Amino acid sequence: MVVDKLFMMQMSVVVLLICFVAGARCDFNVLPPQDAISDECVVAMETCAAKHVTTGRCKTTMGSLQLNLIRVDVDNNCQVNGSDFAAEVPRFYDIDNDGELCRNEWIARRTRYFGFSTTLTDFEFNDFSQSGACLKTSDLALIPDMDLRSVYSNNAVVRLINFCNQGDNMKTNRDCLGLPTICKEKRPELDACRQFDPSIKTLKQKIDVVFIDVDGDGLVSQQELDNDFTTNYDTDRDGCVTQVEWTGRWEAVFGISGEVATYVYVFFDGGNNCLNRTDIDLIVPPTGIPTTMFPDILITDVVTVCEKKPDLYETNADCAQAVDTCLTYFPENEACSAYAQCGLNRYTECISGLTSLWGDCCSKTDSIEVELEGRRVRNQVAPACEPYTIEDIMACLNLQNFFRKMSGWFGY
- State the residues that interact with Ca ion by CB under 5 A: 73, 75, 77, 79, 84, 94, 96, 98, 100, 213, 215, 217, 219, 221, 234, 236, 238, 240
Closest distance of CB 403 from Ca ion, Å: 29
Residue 94, phi then psi, degrees to nearest 5: -80, 75
DSSP 265-331: HHHHHTTSS-B-HHHHHHHS-TT-EETTHHHHHHHHHHHHHHHHSTTHHHH-HHHHHHHHHHHHH-T
**What does DSSP say about strands 135-136 and 100-101: parallel, antiparallel, or unpaired?**
antiparallel
Question: Using alpha carbons only, what angle is made at residue 329 by residues 324 and 331, rounded to the nearest 5 degrees?
Answer: 90
Choice between 65 and 342, CB closer to Ca ion: 65
3-state secondary structure of 173: coil
Closest distance of CB 293 from Ca ion, Å: 13
Residue 293's CB is within 10 A of a number of other CB atoms, namely: 11
Choice between 206 and 375, CB closer to Ca ion: 375
Choice between 61 and 111, CB closer to Ca ion: 111
Closest distance of CB 81 from Ca ion, Å: 6
Closest distance of CB 65 from Ca ion, Å: 17
Choice between 35 and 168, CB closer to Ca ion: 35
**What 8-state DSSP symbol labels residue 241?**
B
Quick one: which of 76, 58, 220 has its CA closest to 148? 76
Closest distance of CB 314 from Ca ion, Å: 29
Give the gyration radius of the chain's Cα atoms: 26
Return d(Cα 183, Cα 176) in angstroms, integer: 11
Cβ atoms of 120 and 173 within 8 Å: the answer is: yes
Q: List, in order, residues 6 or more apart from 395 with CB less than 8 Å away.
A: 18, 19, 22
Q: List, in order, residues 6 or more apart from 253 with CB less than 8 Å away.
A: 232
Choice between 234 and 279, CB closer to Ca ion: 234
Choice between 51 and 277, CB closer to Ca ion: 277
Closest distance of CB 13 from Ca ion, Å: 31
Return d(Cα 220, Cα 212) in angstroms, integer: 7
Closest distance of CB 329 from Ca ion, Å: 23
Choice between 12 and 243, CB closer to Ca ion: 243
- Number of H helices and E strands in the chain, helices first, is 22, 6
Closest distance of CB 114 from Ca ion, Å: 18
Q: How far is CA 260 from CA 203, 212, 307, 308, 391, in A?
A: 11, 19, 12, 11, 51
Choice between 137 and 257, CB closer to Ca ion: 137
DSSP 107-123: HHHHHHTT---HHHHHH
Closest distance of CB 78 from Ca ion, Å: 7
Choice between 219 and 317, CB closer to Ca ion: 219
